[in-house]
């Protein structure tokens, strides 16, 4: 059928399949700024203006827009003439991965067209349909306010010289400055190229047929009907692909995760597990083909409760003979770890009081706006090219080659722009099978997950039950601590050892104790698979540890902040667990050289009005009256420390080469997931080379062209990959000085590279352009270039302190978060605006963990809320005001004094919220998430004297 | 993913119902598409698109001090939420309910008719429309007829036939002056309701002359709470009255559990929201 409408002012007439949606038509027509996120109208990435109004183009059938005017992001402006909103979003660092931003900017445009002077609430409501997973909406709202108020151009990078966005006391030229992102305006003009934006001739569409059963053996599989469907080019099953056990965990080789899965197996272990894979000429045909594959299952007994996993007689989930690295497959024990410092038993004997509490945390999903997507093809040299939305291109290359029994040298992995990742793309969940479809058909294949597959069948934050026991002396000092963890690893053991190790190793050392013990059992169940997820075990651990510390402080009658600060580690302390809990092996010693925790608290306490809040409480009073008679208000705190990379394990590489105009190419294996790492790495190189950040042209990352880097995980990029950039830049600078010396007729000693010139002590100088031209075309003729790699055996922790104000509805259990302040000692902010963005986004993700996000399953292991309507993440309307504070401590081992910042914000949120709910109501909640129903149950149990945790006061009194 | 070969694009409601009767197989009408398009259906053979049939009017019907309000089924929720005529009826509860629907982008597509017929999760308009005694005008091949909204939800199988197209929602003028309120409870502010509730009161002096209360989100069709209404009739306007009404409300529903909330929690929330909407409708400040 034919439809006519206009796009960005130009009339189009297209022939469509009748039920085709506008999203697909627009992308087919080349308007690739329209992004597919959830395909259900819930995320907003595909927002376009339809006759001026923002709509989700995935729910609009193209046939419905006959005669209408459609505006996409490309219609707003381009790099030559950007719309003020686009400029302002970029300048303020509002765009991280930017997958959602095109839609958000269009919503903002429509809002301002209708209401040129919106207040903050109107702006939030005007963005309610645009879910952003990277940011806390803070900078987007600022940008819209600035454009509305006529203050565009006065913020962000434009105010880089201002105090708010310049760190480092003038020591540095570009490092410490909130430079605009290196991607430029195209990032918010629909030009950024994500995997789905690559076009191929002869493209086939892949699809995975998934298991409807949580535990079953495939007795027979008949693909004949699927193969007979015209347009279907391949159907892969366990019968016709290599069987190579591996782990989908994109970790360093050899991976500390068990090799307990294969590309396609004879057995399925959770609902959504792979059964077969199809390549066909259209996505619809691929779906039809999957439906035509006939599978006979022998359904096996289910194991859904982790507590039962190790019971005698429990169904054995991994009974295959070729798996390796499983701690004890016969007991469903994927991994076990324990560690002890001092003598814990003696420690408890010497305690005056012992506190014991058990906490539980739920399944959540990182839920990036861009789902997992991979495209593979054979290039002109018959090499396999894998373009994929991944955090770990080099691990992908290794795993794809091995699993497909294909030579590694014939595999090239390209990481294009990524639409958010947060750990879930540290997993090889598509690349191996997409490659297999290309190898089978010799055609390009694109495999892109639907949102329900993304949520139910990729990887999750591991659920855990955490038992904490702490022995204290009567003065409050801690003499013994014990943490026992049961981790639900789900159907496979990806990160089953290392995530729970971090639950202990990241959270326990924050508070001093001479005796510490930690143990964890990670067990298999027939449920969704655990994996890497921003924070990597630490958010689970901190929810328990910092709730528990709050409980102890209250029980001892000590101010909860004073209690934490009195027991927290100090500068110069050694991490007692570092050597015991390494990356699946013995670790390296770890000394805390910098520690800004006290300053973090000072700054947070000040902005959140903590002292005034404490002073406002009458003796014995719990919480303060809220805005309604049935609500109470309280403030809670959370402290944390994290790490910067995996010591002795993470390696980052960087290549810098000079161009004759004095600019440089920076080639990094590090993978910018939207965090802005390309920008901060460029700033580091620019600082060393004495040029402007925009003169560093960044390419990231491509296994053919960039040096090896483990990838973006473990909060390692600034610290580890940044170190490699600095090393490479220093060597390149030395060569530039060598050539400059010849031009200046001086020795290279005493020459300084700054502001685009090389200057001698004598005052003589030459431009870098002249130096670079001379190096390339002069007598010596050298391509100035250097590749450096960086490994560090240190792991300096960033520190965080947070305070939040919540209002609890005592009748419904709903928790409204009013504000959230979070200060982080990140050593030194390479780019303050981008660092703030990491904190704001991390806090918002933490709030989802604390309050709304939870993957739910029925009694047959089927996920009940595998869509964004029911899996609720915070919108701009739900998000509180988030205040990010950067604390500088100049870490001596970090590049320019930097430590990490990206994961730690998540750690502090759930405990701060739990402690605030307690402060408001006197009710202690130990099971995440705090949904209204769960909170109300806690309030009612306390009112009935059930939990005995209520500290009395005005909680239940109502006027 | 929708996978259809047949999509009709009628330009009048009459043509829409004719096409429905004339097309073989299983068909559905589609308007905003915010629910149907992403859900898809393998049992669907064709769709009839209502984008171009009009039905996007909001107008007064009748003269006098209390005219009816006629709302075309194709009115977008966003337009309902910003319409002054809608805001003028019964303390603006229909506006408030419309403002609570989903997100700003969905409200720009979703329609009044769609919000009324979607039944697999609780939508936000029904409770507000129920307390205003709204009626539906329905068209099929045999002509138009009226269905009371209470009947539509209470007895849908009997009163709503295959191929029926809702073309209008009529809010009778007699409810215009009611003091009313709408409340929604979700896990987050932007969320599907766990429970939502509307209340409308006609107050005579210090007493309640007439009370209407409706809820959605019990896992059953949206409905009026008749027990609560009879309890309230003639009672004094007082906090204690409404607190008791909340208890009566909880006792009068038989909610179901699902992944959003348990039956027990829903029962309690029906009580809480009943009390709150009544207090708000009566103008009793709850601060």
Q: Any CB–CB contact under 8 A between A877 and chain B?
A: yes
Q: How far apart are CA A418 and CA A887, in angstroms?
A: 29
The predicted structure's pLDDT at residue B228:
98
How close A4 gets to chain B, by Cα (Å)? 13
How close B236 gets to chain A, by Cα (Å)? 20
Q: Identify whether the C-beta of residue B174 lies closer than 8 Å to the C-beta of residue B66.
A: yes
- pLDDT tens per residue, range A555-570: 999 999 999 999 999 9
**Same domain for B141 and B219:** no
The interface residues of chain A toward chain B in range 618-657, judged by CB-CB distance below 8 A, are 627-630
**Same domain for B120 and B166:** yes
Classify residue B110 by burial, with Cβ atoms within 10 Å: 0-12, 13-18, 19+.
buried
Give which of B105, B110, B183 to mutate to test A binding, by max A Cβ within 10 Å: B105
**pTM attached to this predicted model:** 0.97
Q: Which of A47, A283, A933 shows the shortest C-beta gap to B262?
A: A933
Give the residue from A903, A884, A805, A886 showing the smallest Cα distance to A845.
A903
The predicted structure's pLDDT at residue A165:
63
How close A50 gets to chain B, by Cα (Å)? 9
**Same domain for B168 and B67:** yes
> Are the Cβ atoms of A56 and B51 closer than 8 angstroms?
no
Contacts A–B by Cβ distance under 8 A: 143
Q: How far apart are CA B139 and CA B162, in angstroms?
A: 11
Contact residues for A204 (Cβ-Cβ < 8 A; gap 6+): A233, A234, A279, A280, A281, A437, A441, A443, A444, A445, A446
With respect to residue B286, please indicate whether it lies within any of the assigned structural domains.
no
How close B141 gets to chain A, by Cα (Å)? 24
In the sheet with A651-658, reading across from the earlier edge strand, the strands are A696-700, A664-668, A651-658, A785-791
Torsion of CA B99, B105, B108, B112, to 10 degrees: -60
How many domains in chain B? 3
In chain B, what residues touch A127 (CB-CB under 8 Å)?
A: 104
- pLDDT tens per residue, range A339-359: 999 999 999 999 999 999 999
Considering B143, B174, B205, which residue would you say is the last residue of a domain? B174
**Same domain for B84 and B126:** yes
> Are the Cβ atoms of B102 and A47 closer than 8 angstroms?
no
Written as one string, the DSSP assignment of A470-493 is EEE-TTS-EEEEEEEEEEEEETS-
**Same domain for B162 and B191:** no
**Same domain for B68 and B126:** yes
Q: Any CB–CB contact under 8 A between A40 and chain B?
A: yes
Q: How far apart are CA A442 and CA A447, in angstroms?
A: 15
Q: How far apart are CA B72 and CA B89, in angstroms?
A: 16
Give, in order, the Cα–Cα distances in Å from A697 to each of A183, A691, A721, B111: 9, 12, 16, 49
**Same domain for B164 and B87:** yes
Give the residue from A505, A447, A422 showing the smallest Cα distance to A210.
A447
By C-alpha distance, the chain B residue nearest A875 is B190
Give the residue from A566, A588, A592 showing the smallest Cα distance to A579.
A588
Domain A2-75 coded CATH 3.10.20.30: yes
Q: How far apart are CA B127 and CA B133, in angstroms?
A: 10
For B5, the token pair is 């070969």
Q: Any CB–CB contact under 8 A between B28 and chain A?
A: no
Low-confidence ranges of chain A (pLDDT < 70): 154-165, 945-959
**Same domain for B273 and B186:** yes
**Same domain for B271 and B215:** yes
Kindly report the CATH number assigned to the domain that includes residue B134: 3.30.465.10
In chain B, what residues touch A283 (CB-CB under 8 Å)?
A: 1
How close A22 gets to chain B, by Cα (Å)? 11
The predicted structure's pLDDT at residue A953:
30
Q: How many CB atoms lie within 10 A of CB A380?
A: 5
Q: Identify whether the C-beta of residue A438 lies closer than 8 Å to the C-beta of residue A384.
A: yes
For A542, the token pair is 């901190």
**Same domain for B62 and B141:** yes
**Same domain for B216 and B136:** no
* Backbone dihedral angles phi then psi of residue A570, each to the nearest 5 degrees: -115, 165
The interface residues of chain A toward chain B in range 194-213, judged by CB-CB distance below 8 A, are none
Give which of B187, B195, B267 to mutate to test A binding, by max A Cβ within 10 Å: B187
> Are the Cβ atoms of B190 and A288 closer than 8 angstroms?
no
Q: How far apart are CA B287 and CA A694, in angstroms?
A: 55
Give which of B26, B32, B104, B196 to mutate to test A binding, by max A Cβ within 10 Å: B104
* Backbone dihedral angles phi then psi of residue A907, each to the nearest 5 degrees: -60, -35
> Are the Cβ atoms of B187 and A931 closer than 8 angstroms?
yes
Q: Which of B2, B190, B272 shows the shortest C-beta gap to A128?
A: B190
* Backbone dihedral angles phi then psi of residue B187, each to the nearest 5 degrees: -65, -45
Torsion of CA A916, A920, A924, A926, to 10 degrees: -40
Q: Identify whether the C-beta of residue A538 lies closer than 8 Å to the C-beta of residue A501.
A: no
With respect to residue B118, please indicate whether it lies within any of the assigned structural domains.
yes
How close A850 gets to chain B, by Cα (Å)? 12
Q: Any CB–CB contact under 8 A between A856 and chain B?
A: yes
Q: How many CB atoms lie within 10 A of CB A104?
A: 32
Q: Any CB–CB contact under 8 A between B102 and chain A?
A: yes
The predicted structure's pLDDT at residue A153:
73
How close A346 gets to chain B, by Cα (Å)? 46
> Are the Cβ atoms of B192 and A869 closer than 8 angstroms?
yes
> Are the Cβ atoms of B106 and A129 closer than 8 angstroms?
yes
Can you state the angle between helices A138-148 and A832-847, rounded to 10 degrees? Answer: 120
> Are the Cβ atoms of A50 and B189 closer than 8 angstroms?
no
Give which of A35, A45, A51, A56 to mutate to test B binding, by max B Cβ within 10 Å: A56
CATH of domain A84-192: 1.10.150.120
Helices (H), A862-931: 904-921
Kindly report the CATH number assigned to the domain that includes residue B224: 3.30.390.50
* Backbone dihedral angles phi then psi of residue A274, each to the nearest 5 degrees: -70, 135
Query: Which H/E stretch holds residue A619?
Result: none
> Regarding the domain delimited by A651-791, which CATH topology (the fold level of the hierarchy) does it fall under?
Aldehyde Oxidoreductase; domain 4 (3.30.365)
In chain B, what residues touch A449 (CB-CB under 8 Å)?
A: none
Give the residue from A823, A772, A804 showing the smallest Cα distance to A919.
A804
Domain boundaries along the sequence of chain A: 2-75, 84-192, 197-300+367-458, 307-364+460-583, 651-791
How close A291 gets to chain B, by Cα (Å)? 11
Q: Any CB–CB contact under 8 A between A848 and chain B?
A: no
Question: Tokens 């290599």 label which residue?
Answer: A242
In chain B, what residues touch A40 (CB-CB under 8 Å)?
A: 38-39
- What is the ipTM, given to two decimal places? 0.97
Q: Which of A21, A812, A878 shows the shortest C-beta gap to B190?
A: A878
By C-alpha distance, the chain B residue nearest A856 is B259
* Backbone dihedral angles phi then psi of residue A490, each to the nearest 5 degrees: 75, -155
* Full domain range(s) for residue B216: 178-281
Considering B174, B199, B221, which residue would you say is the last residue of a domain? B174
Please give the class, per CATH, of domain A197-300+367-458. alpha beta
The predicted structure's pLDDT at residue A565:
98
> Are the Cβ atoms of A125 and B104 closer than 8 angstroms?
yes
State the maximum Cα–Cα separation within chain A, in Å, rounded to a whole number: 90
Q: Is the dihedral of CA A429, A431, A432, A437 positive or negative?
A: positive
Question: Tokens 């839920």 label which residue?
Answer: A367
The predicted structure's pLDDT at residue A945:
64
How close B104 gets to chain A, by Cα (Å)? 6
**Same domain for B198 and B241:** yes
With respect to residue B1, please indicate whether it lies within any of the assigned structural domains.
no
How close B64 gets to chain A, by Cα (Å)? 34
Q: Any CB–CB contact under 8 A between A125 and chain B?
A: yes
Q: Which of the 8 DSSP states describes residue A849?
A: I
Q: Any CB–CB contact under 8 A between B227 and chain A?
A: no
Within 13 Å of residue B254, how many CA atoms lie on the same side as its CB? Answer: 0
Q: Which of A40, A55, A125 shows the shortest C-beta gap to B109?
A: A55
Q: Which residues lie across from A634 on neighbouring strands?
A: A806
> Are the Cβ atoms of B2 and A53 closer than 8 angstroms?
no
In chain B, what residues touch A107 (CB-CB under 8 Å)?
A: 104-105
The interface residues of chain B toward chain A in range 36-65, judged by CB-CB distance below 8 A, are 37-39, 42, 47, 49, 51-52
How close A202 gets to chain B, by Cα (Å)? 22
Q: How far apart are CA A915 and CA A551, in angstroms?
A: 9
Same fold, A84-192 and A197-300+367-458: no
Domain A307-364+460-583 coded CATH 3.30.365.10: yes
The predicted structure's pLDDT at residue B65:
87
> Are the Cβ atoms of B32 and A126 closer than 8 angstroms?
no
Contact residues for A662 (Cβ-Cβ < 8 A; gap 6+): A691, A695, A756, A767, A768, A769, A770, A771, A772
> Are the Cβ atoms of B33 and A64 closer than 8 angstroms?
yes
> Are the Cβ atoms of B1 and A931 closer than 8 angstroms?
no
Classify residue A730 by burial, with Cβ atoms within 10 Å: 0-12, 13-18, 19+.
middle
What averages of pLDDT result for each successive group of 10 residues across chain B (287 residues)?
A: 90 98 96 92 91 96 92 98 97 98 98 94 97 98 96 94 96 96 97 97 96 97 98 97 98 96 98 98 85
The interface residues of chain A toward chain B in range 697-726, judged by CB-CB distance below 8 A, are none
Q: Any CB–CB contact under 8 A between B257 and chain A?
A: no
Per DSSP (E only), the strands in A223-314 are 232-236, 267-268, 274-280, 294-299
For A12, the token pair is 């189009």
Pairing of strands A267-268, A785-791: unpaired
């Amino acid at each position: 059928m034919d439809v006519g409408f206009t796009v960005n002012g130009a009339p189009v007439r297209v022939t469509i399949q009748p039920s085709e949606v506008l999203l697909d038509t627009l992308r087919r027509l080349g308007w690739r700024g329209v992004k597919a996120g959830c395909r259900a109208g819930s995320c907003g990435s595909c927002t376009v203006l339809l006759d001026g109004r923002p709509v989700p183009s995935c729910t609009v059938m193209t046939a419905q827009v006959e005669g209408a005017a459609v505006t996409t992001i490309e219609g707003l402006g381009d790099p030559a003439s950007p719309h003020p909103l686009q400029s302002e979003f970029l300048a303020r660092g509002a765009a991280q991965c930017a997958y959602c931003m095109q839609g958000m900017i269009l919503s903002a445009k429509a809002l301002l067209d209708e209401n040129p002077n919106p207040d903050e609430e109107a702006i939030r409501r005007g963005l309610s349909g645009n879910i952003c997973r990277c940011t806390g909406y803070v900078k987007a709202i600022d940008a819209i306010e600035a454009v509305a108020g006529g203050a565009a151009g006065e913020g962000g990078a434009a105010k880089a010289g201002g105090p708010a966005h310049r760190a480092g006391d003038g020591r540095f030229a570009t490092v410490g400055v909130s430079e605009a992102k290196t991607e430029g305006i195209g990032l918010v003009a629909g030009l950024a190229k994500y995997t789905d934006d690559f076009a191929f001739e002869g493209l086939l569409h892949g699809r995975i047929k998934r298991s409807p059963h949580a535990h079953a053996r495939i007795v027979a599989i008949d693909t004949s009907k699927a193969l007979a469907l015209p347009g279907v080019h391949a159907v892969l099953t366990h019968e016709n692909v290599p069987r190579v056990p591996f782990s989908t965990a994109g970790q360093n080789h050899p991976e500390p995760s068990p090799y307990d899965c294969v590309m396609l197996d004879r057995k399925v272990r959770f609902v959504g597990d792979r059964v077969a894979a199809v390549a066909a000429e259209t996505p619809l045909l691929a779906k039809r083909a999957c439906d035509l594959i006939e599978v006979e299952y022998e359904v096996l007994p289910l194991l859904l409760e982790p507590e039962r996993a190790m019971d005698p007689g429990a169904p054995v989930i991994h009974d295959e003979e070729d798996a390796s690295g499983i701690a004890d497959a016969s007991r469903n024990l994927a991994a076990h770890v324990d560690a002890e410092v001092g003598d814990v038993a003696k420690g408890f004997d010497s305690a005056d009081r012992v506190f014991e509490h058990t906490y539980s945390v739920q399944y959540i999903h990182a839920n990036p706006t861009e789902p997992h997507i991979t495209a593979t093809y054979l290039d002109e040299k018959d090499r396999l090219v894998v373009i994929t939305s991944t955090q770990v291109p080099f691990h992908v290359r290794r795993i794809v080659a091995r699993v497909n029994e294909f030579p590694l040298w014939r595999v090239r992995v390209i990481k294009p722009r990524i639409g958010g990742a947060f750990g879930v793309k540290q997993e090889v969940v598509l690349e191996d099978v997409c490659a297999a479809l290309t190898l089978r058909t010799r055609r390009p294949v694109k495999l892109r997950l639907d949102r329900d597959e993304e949520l139910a069948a990729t990887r999750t934050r591991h659920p855990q039950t955490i038992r904490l026991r702490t022995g204290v002396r009567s003065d409050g000092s801690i003499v013994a601590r014990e943490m026992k963890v049961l981790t639900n690893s789900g159907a496979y053991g990806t990160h089953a050892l290392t995530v729970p190790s971090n639950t202990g190793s990241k959270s326990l050392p924050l508070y001093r104790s001479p005796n510490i013990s930690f143990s964890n059992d990670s067990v298999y169940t027939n449920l969704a698979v655990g994996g890497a997820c921003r924070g990597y075990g630490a958010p689970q651990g901190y929810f328990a540890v910092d709730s528990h510390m709050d409980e102890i402080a209250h029980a001892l009658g000590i101010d909860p902040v004073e209690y934490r600060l009195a027991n927290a580690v100090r500068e110069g302390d050694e991490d007692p667990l570092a050597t015991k809990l390494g990356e699946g092996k013995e670790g390296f010693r770890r000394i805390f050289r910098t520690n800004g925790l006290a300053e973090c608290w000072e700054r947070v306490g000040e902005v959140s009005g903590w002292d005034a809040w404490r002073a406002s409480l009458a003796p014995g009073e719990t919480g303060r009256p809220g805005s309604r008679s049935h609500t109470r208000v309280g403030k809670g705190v959370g402290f944390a420390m994290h790490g910067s990379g995996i010591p002795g394990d993470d390696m980052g590489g960087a290549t810098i080469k000079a161009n004759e105009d004095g600019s440089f190419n920076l080639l990094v294996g590090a993978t910018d997931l939207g965090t802005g790492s390309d920008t901060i790495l460029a700033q580091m190189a620019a600082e060393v080379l004495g040029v402007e950040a925009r003169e560093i042209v960044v390419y990231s990352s491509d296994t053919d062209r960039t040096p090896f880097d483990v990838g973006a995980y473990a909060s390692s990029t600034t610290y580890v990959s940044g170190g490699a950039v600095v090393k490479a830049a220093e060597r390149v600078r030395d060569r530039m000085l060598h050539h400059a010396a010849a031009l200046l007729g001086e020795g290279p000693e005493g020459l300084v590279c700054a502001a685009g010139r090389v200057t001698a002590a004598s005052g003589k100088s030459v431009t870098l352009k002249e130096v670079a031209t001379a190096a390339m075309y002069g007598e010596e003729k050298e391509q100035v270039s250097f590749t450096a790699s960086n490994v560090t055996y240190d792991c300096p922790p960033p520190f965080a302190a947070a305070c939040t104000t919540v209002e609890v509805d005592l009748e419904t259990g709903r928790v409204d978060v009013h504000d959230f302040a979070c200060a982080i000692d990140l050593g030194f902010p390479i780019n303050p605006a981008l660092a703030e963005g990491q904190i704001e986004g991390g806090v918002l993700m933490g709030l989802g963990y604390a309050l709304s996000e939870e993957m739910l399953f029925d009694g047959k292991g089927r996920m009940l809320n595998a869509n964004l309507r029911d899996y609720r993440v915070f919108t701009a309307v739900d998000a509180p005001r988030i205040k990010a504070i950067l604390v500088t401590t100049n870490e001596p081992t970090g590049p320019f004094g930097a430590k990490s910042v990206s994961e730690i914000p998540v750690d502090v949120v759930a405990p701060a919220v739990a402690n605030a709910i307690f402060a408001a109501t006197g009710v202690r909640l130990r099971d995440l998430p705090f949904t209204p129903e769960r909170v109300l149950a806690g309030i009612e149990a306390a009112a009935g004297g059930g939990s005995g945790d209520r500290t009395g006061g005005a909680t239940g009194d109502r006027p | 993913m929708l996978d259809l070969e047949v999509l009709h694009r009628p330009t009048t409601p009459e043509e829409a119902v004719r096409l429905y009767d004339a097309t073989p197989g299983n068909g559905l009408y589609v308007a905003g598409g915010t629910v149907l398009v992403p859900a898809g259906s393998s049992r669907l053979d064709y769709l009839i698109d209502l984008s171009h049939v009009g039905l996007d009017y909001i107008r007064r019907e009748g003269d006098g001090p209390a005219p009816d309000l006629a709302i075309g089924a194709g009115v977008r929720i966003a337009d309902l939420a910003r319409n002054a005529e809608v805001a003028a009826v019964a303390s603006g509860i229909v506006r408030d309910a419309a403002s609570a629907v989903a997100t700003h982008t969905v409200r720009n597509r979703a329609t009044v008719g769609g919000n009324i017929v979607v039944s697999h999760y609780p939508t936000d308009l029904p409770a507000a429309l129920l307390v205003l005694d709204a009626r539906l005008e329905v068209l099929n091949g045999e002509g138009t007829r009226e269905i009371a909204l209470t009947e539509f939800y209470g007895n849908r199988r009997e009163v709503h036939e295959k191929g029926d197209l809702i073309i209008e929602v009529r809010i009778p003028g007699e409810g215009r002056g009611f003091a009313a309120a709408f409340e929604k409870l979700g896990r987050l502010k932007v969320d599907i309701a766990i429970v939502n509730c509307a209340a409308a009161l006609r107050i005579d002096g210090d007493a309640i002359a007439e009370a209407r209360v409706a809820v959605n989100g019990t896992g059953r069709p949206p409905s009026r709470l008749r027990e609560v209404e009879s309890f309230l009739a003639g009672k004094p306007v007082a906090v204690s009255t409404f607190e008791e009404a909340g208890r009566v409300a909880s006792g009068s529903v038989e909610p179901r559990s699902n992944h959003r909330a348990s039956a027990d929690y829903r029962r309690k929330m029906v009580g809480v929201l009943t009390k709150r909407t009544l207090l708000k409708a009566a103008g009793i400040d709850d601060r």
